[in-house]
Structure 1
Amino acid sequence: MNTSYDVKFWEIRRNETSKTPSYVIRWKVGGRQKSKTLRTKALAESFLSDLRQAAKQGEAFDMETGLPLSMLQAKSARTIFEFVRAYIAMKWPHAAAKSRDSASDALATLLPALTKDRPARPEAEILRTALRKYALLPDGKRPDVPTDMAQAIRWIEGASLDLVDLGETRVVRLALDALALRLDGKAAAPNTIARKRAVFHAVLEYAVELEELSANPLHKVKWKPPKTTETVDPRVAVNPRQAQELLTMVTYVGGRGRGRRLMALFACMYYAALRPAEAVGLRLQDCHLPAKGWGRLTIDVSRPEVNTKWTDSGSTHEERGLKHRGRADVRPVPIPPELVKILRQHIEEYGTGPDGRLFRSERGGVIGSTAYTEVWQEARALAFTPAQVASPLARRPYDLRHAAVSLWLNVGVSAPDVAERAGHGVDVLLRVYAKCLDGHKEIANQRISDALTV
């Protein structure tokens, strides 16, 4: 096989020679021009993006087909299992750790359903473990496979349906029915179903890109997923008095100041509406903390937590850009004097890490979600009545962010300003927090009454 790293791309163009809309991707490998025509611009853009990402990762391209070796592996796949493994190998280098984890979770649900009726089928839990921990990891990340897991992998390799079977409605329904259930046979949560279906859709789109399928079969299957819940439950949002009580109680949790060193972390989630992954990555250089008045945080880093097998660094916290934004984007967040004072006191007492991070574990590492969640639950028990503890009120640290955004909206801060501070789009903000807008119905009712008065 002749390969080359010399790759050049051109912009997508409309195919003017065809009456029906189609789009042409053009690129050059080792001086040889290549082209591919796809039916929709979205498919063309996705295909070109995959080519560019492969080139960016330093992958060799086959000079005969013009495809990177990862795509060539997918083109040679004959079973669904082989194709899925090739898909993961292609996506892995430029996917976030959370995305890798999510894709593996979805595909470990789908693959056991897309098999032939073969004897000696392993138990569902063993199949899932074999896929999640071994088979659905790329070669360089896969640990040594125990005997029982190897047997399960061999079984699914032999039992996997052929790739062409994905074009059948019956097979697609098998997959959809599988992702709608948990391992115990109970219905999965609507948001989980939606997430896993999105992964399945992406795999099928990739098969269409490579012309292994003529069209995405999901588009012709009449299958209605459960409705997902996007809106925040207003019952989770604490009021300012409750928030202050919680922050105070955090300082009483644990020995050796365990809760005290986390109080400012929770304060960032409440007063600045930071996501937990943004708060744990906050650095001194991100903070403008004047002696008086309002300050400012400039957020440009997020440290989401994920199992080490999904990260490139081997760390449980992968440094990423901001959610839903480009890697170089920043988000300025004005912060009130209350938070400025808390952060100044925290820095005076605990200092910062070598990289400027404000919040560190006792050993200097990134604070894990387990650690701060345990402190939070103890603080809730101290601050709330038994009825409140049993309620959804501030059940998770993330609910402090919900409380902050709800407060801003309800005191009359404009939606575009709130969206900018919280790192949302305005449309998403109003949809997610629609039920947290107190008093708007009464205002609307009064206006209607005034208009009806003659």
Structure 2
Amino acid sequence: MGKTTFSVRFWAIKTYKGTRVTTHTVRWIVDGREWKEPFRTLAHAESFRAQLMTAARQGEAFSIATGRPISWQREETVLTWFTFTLSYVEAKWRYAAPNHRRGIAEALIDATEALLTKENGAPDTAIRRAALRWAYSERVRDTTEPPRDLAMALKWLETNTVPMTAFEEPGKGALLTRGVLDRISRTKDGRTAAANTANRKRMSLNNAMEYAVEIGALPSNPLKAVKWVKPRTLTSVDPRVVINVEQARRFLAAVQRRGTQGPRMKAFFGLMYFAALRPEEVVDLRLEHLVNLPENGWGEMRLTHAEPRAGSRWTNSGKVRERRALKHRAEGETRGVPIHPELSAMLREHIQEFGTGANGRIFIGPRGGLMTDRAYLKVFHEARADAFTTTEGGSPLMAVPYDLRHACVSTWLNAGVPAPQVAEWAGHSVNVLLRVYAKCIHGQQGEAMRRIWDATKS
């Protein structure tokens, strides 16, 4: 039966009038946790709420796992994996960053594919995955009606995933768990997934299983009962991706030559190479962040926020990007970064030629909108092909924009800047900095070998 409680409270019905549908949501609290049930008509919502309140007034215990009176469980189906995942997503939503929400959804979608009870009559794989993406976005689920094909897939999923009790069955539970781990270790087309991706999904699933234990849906975490070798992940930057300053200047010159868009992006990429900014930090850069931008010598910037791209489905606002605190930092924390004289000149020229957008935003599109990923990635790859030789272009050298940041941090370290200072400028801890960039620190091997020779020679 699972854990039960008599601690139940009720809120007023919440009505949301969307552009296409009106939703009436019944909300109640069971043992400190909020539950919600949406209805299309107010009458149905009021009837459902009245039934819950009647059960509470009659002194009936409520299930912590389902949020319903325990008498209803005899009439309802057991808690299925799909129903549980909806509960888990709802519990995590308000506390998770948009990209974390997306990561949770990706892990649950893969796991669900390994926990179907039958294939006959199943919706097409693409439709099924689209339906799950719709269901795992609380913002979308609470404000829109699913398209007809997705609604049918969701209805099928309600009754065709394994019950949570299946994880407890001797033998079967371990097989199910191994099936889930195998699925998250592969891509949609069956190829071996990147180690970082597989491990990230496993972390999300482990958290989901811990939540299942917490609410009484499972007696223990099934992932901990299965021996599974985690894929080895690449923890340090490959030195082959790091460009030198001559290559960087070639690349930035090629960016400048890319039609009308290129000149808008020279300083954009310059900030990654000369200041080690992450792409989401460059996107958010405002005039107020440039504390000092002199005509000669070093300047200074102080970053306050970043705008990572998560996708409109996963943000609270429904926009592709959402402004957040700096990575690995609490809300309100800032980060100072020096502005290289060459970068200072780029920024002054950029502001003089293109001005700024709303709220002093420095990088904007031709029509004043946000600089999009599609736009800057197109210029990046075209400029890379233009700037590099055939040999360089066919190598891993600066394959993605983030490699410009890697090059900057590597340059600082190889220039002899103390690791704590580099870590502060780059927004890393010292431990992570030295682990990630260990293979990119050059020029010290000769001195090390000389010292060993001096210590061992007779």
Q: TM-score when scaled to structure 2?
A: 0.82
Letter in 1 for 2:267: A
The answer on whether the counterparts of 2:287 and 2:360 sit within 8 Å (CA) in structure 1 is yes
The answer on whether the counterparts of 1:265 and 1:279 sit within 8 Å (CA) in structure 2 is yes
In 2, Cα distance between equivalents of 1:74 and 1:397: 46
Alignment match, 1:66: 32
The answer on whether the counterparts of 1:301 and 1:320 sit within 8 Å (CA) in structure 2 is yes
Question: Residues 181-192 of structure 1: matches in 2 within 5 Å?
Answer: 181-192=186-197
Question: Residues 30-109 of structure 1: matches in 2 within 5 Å?
Answer: 62=29, 65-69=31-35, 74-75=66-67, 78-109=79-110
Alignment match, 1:162: 163
- Corresponding position: 1:284 with 2:287: yes
| Number of residue pairs aligned between Structure 1 and Structure 2 | 397
Distance change in 2, residues 1:179/1:444 (3 Å): same
In 2, Cα distance between equivalents of 1:141 and 1:355: 31
In 2, Cα distance between equivalents of 1:189 and 1:211: 33
For the aligned residue pairs, the C-alpha RMSD in angstroms reads 2.1
The answer on whether the counterparts of 2:82 and 2:158 sit within 8 Å (CA) in structure 1 is yes
Counterpart pick for 1:234 among 232, 239, 248: 239
1:403-451 per-position Cα deviation (integer Å, ceiling 9, x unaligned):
0001111111111111110001111111111111113333332222221
In 2, Cα distance between equivalents of 1:379 and 1:181: 33
> Which consecutive unaligned segments of at least 5 residues does structure 1 have?
6-58
The answer on whether the counterparts of 2:278 and 2:405 sit within 8 Å (CA) in structure 1 is yes
In 2, Cα distance between equivalents of 1:72 and 1:331: 43
The Cα of 1:392 is off from its aligned counterpart by: 1.3
In 2, Cα distance between equivalents of 1:219 and 1:110: 16
In 1, Cα distance between equivalents of 2:224 and 2:445: 39
Distance change in 2, residues 1:337/1:212 (3 Å): same
In 1, Cα distance between equivalents of 2:294 and 2:352: 14
The Cα of 1:2 is off from its aligned counterpart by: 5.5
Distance change in 2, residues 1:141/1:389 (3 Å): farther
Alignment match, 1:420: 424
The answer on whether the counterparts of 2:65 and 2:215 sit within 8 Å (CA) in structure 1 is no
The answer on whether the counterparts of 2:325 and 2:333 sit within 8 Å (CA) in structure 1 is yes
The Cα of 1:141 is off from its aligned counterpart by: 4.7
- Corresponding position: 1:3 with 2:9: yes
Alignment match, 2:211: 206
**Any idea what SS the aligned residue of 2:301 has?**
strand
In 1, Cα distance between equivalents of 2:387 and 2:186: 38
- Corresponding position: 1:152 with 2:157: no
Alignment match, 2:21: none
In 1, Cα distance between equivalents of 2:421 and 2:200: 29
The answer on whether the counterparts of 2:64 and 2:215 sit within 8 Å (CA) in structure 1 is no
Identity among equivalent pairs (%): 42
In 1, Cα distance between equivalents of 2:104 and 2:32: 27
Alignment match, 1:448: 452
Alignment match, 1:404: 408
Alignment match, 1:111: 112
In 1, Cα distance between equivalents of 2:348 and 2:66: 54
In 2, Cα distance between equivalents of 1:118 and 1:390: 44
The Cα of 1:379 is off from its aligned counterpart by: 0.9
In 2, Cα distance between equivalents of 1:60 and 1:122: 31
1:271-324 per-position Cα deviation (integer Å, ceiling 9, x unaligned):
110000000110000002123321111111101112211112121111111111
Q: TM-score when scaled to structure 1?
A: 0.83
In 2, Cα distance between equivalents of 1:447 and 1:440: 11
Alignment match, 1:264: 267
> Which consecutive unaligned segments of at least 5 residues does structure 2 have?
1-6, 12-25, 37-62, 69-77
Distance change in 2, residues 1:393/1:350 (3 Å): same
The Cα of 1:140 is off from its aligned counterpart by: 4.1
- Corresponding position: 1:324 with 2:342: no
